Amino acid sequence: MIASNYAAKDPDVSVIIVTLGKRISEFKACLNSILRQTYKDFEIIIVNDGPPEPIKTIAHSLNSNDRIVLIHNLTQVGPAVARNIATHYAKGKYLAFIDDDSIADENWLETLIQAYENPRVGGVGGTTIQFYSRRIKQKSKFSLAVDTLYERIDDVTDTEFLCGTNMSFRRDIFEEVGGFDEYLGKISFFEDTDISLSVKEKGYKLMCQPAAIVVHYDISHGGCTPRVDEHWYWFSRNRLYVVLKHPKFFYSIITITYFSVNCFLKFFRRCVANRHSPKTWFMGIFYIFKGLIEAIIVHFINKK
């Protein structure tokens, strides 16, 4: 663990990391990558959203570093709520988010902050490289609606969505849109897309800085549950909820039908590839239906 005696009383940037304490080695690598940043005016807000025991192995190092604020949740609340909790402790005028199994390039913060020279920019993201698949993710137009379509971005440009493990927002604009939607629950699906659209709906720009690079290891026991039933429940529920919540971007019968049918197609492909049992097929279909129905019900309740 890299230690620093630097104390930022009023830092420019608050870097927020939520951890469940299940991947300590990756988490330590993530912290080290932040502490090595060329941009020095930052603090790190860590929210432990899991049991306290795993994090105790490095708690002393964290508590002895003046840059770091460590928060322990008494119960698991999920990434959206945990990130909102972190912002209550944050002092920076910019909020940067990264997953605990990701490593930031040393110029990551410096590159993100450059885009905020334009006062109409509300959020900035960068390039996320999936370590094992080597897939490059740059959230751009239509990447939510069409899963396989990603527009490769080489220059700084406007974008529609930011990627959850490599995104930042002006603090005042983050607060203006109400932070992350806590209805999205305990599993990490589409909270990045939702807040991106909320910022766009307020009239602010989202920018992609391709040179702001994060490598995401995407360890299976992280924010997204590996259980098939819960995975497909939260995926279908949150996805349709976000579509219904942002009619300006998505609202049409064709789009809603596509999203609903696409959930089943993705599930069927996964079942065939992994040779799941008939019981798994049944439970997955049941929970997809449950998620879709709940999203529709809550949407119409919220409209009243």
| C-alpha separations of 18 from 79, 117, 224, 231 in Å | 7, 28, 13, 19
Q: Are residues 287 and 175 in the same domain?
A: no
Q: Are residues 201 and 166 in the same domain?
A: yes
User: Is residue 1 situated within a structural domain?
Assistant: no
User: Is residue 150 situated within a structural domain?
Assistant: yes
User: Is residue 101 situated within a structural domain?
Assistant: yes
Using alpha carbons, select from 120, 229, 210 the residue that is nearest to residue 157.
Answer: 210
* Tens-place pLDDT, residues 204-217: 999 999 999 999 88
Which residue did the predictor score with more confidence, 258 or 188?
Answer: 188
pLDDT at 224 over 60: no
Q: Which domain holds residue 212?
A: 13-216
| Residue that finishes a domain, picked among 159, 191, 216 | 216
Q: Are residues 158 and 20 in the same domain?
A: yes
DSSP-H helix ranges across 91-227: 108-114, 171-176, 191-201
The CA-to-CA distance between both ends of the chain, in Å, stands at: 51
* Tens-place pLDDT, residues 269-290: 666 666 666 767 667 778 888 8
Name residues whose C-beta falls within 8 Å of residue 30's C-beta, 6 or more positions apart in sequence: 17, 98, 99, 100, 101, 102, 103, 104
pLDDT at 178 over 70: yes
pTM attached to this predicted model: 0.84
User: Is residue 222 situated within a structural domain?
Assistant: no
Q: Are residues 241 and 196 in the same domain?
A: no
Q: Are residues 116 and 152 in the same domain?
A: yes
User: Is residue 5 situated within a structural domain?
Assistant: no
* Tens-place pLDDT, residues 120-137: 999 999 998 876 555 555
Q: Are residues 26 and 93 in the same domain?
A: yes
User: Is residue 208 situated within a structural domain?
Assistant: yes
Average confidence (pLDDT) over 160-186: 93
- Compute the chain's Rg from CA coordinates: 19
Query: Which CATH number belongs to the domain containing residue 108 in this structure?
Result: 3.90.550.10
| Residue that finishes a domain, picked among 216, 240, 259 | 216
Q: Are residues 211 and 246 in the same domain?
A: no
Average confidence (pLDDT) over 53-82: 87
Q: Are residues 209 and 281 in the same domain?
A: no
Q: Are residues 196 and 268 in the same domain?
A: no
Domains: count for the chain: 2
User: Is residue 72 situated within a structural domain?
Assistant: yes
Q: Are residues 50 and 110 in the same domain?
A: yes
Average confidence (pLDDT) over 250-265: 60
Q: Are residues 20 and 112 in the same domain?
A: yes
Q: Are residues 170 and 236 in the same domain?
A: no
Residue pair 199/206 in contact (Cβ under 8 Å)? The answer is yes
User: Is residue 2 situated within a structural domain?
Assistant: no
pLDDT score of 119: 93
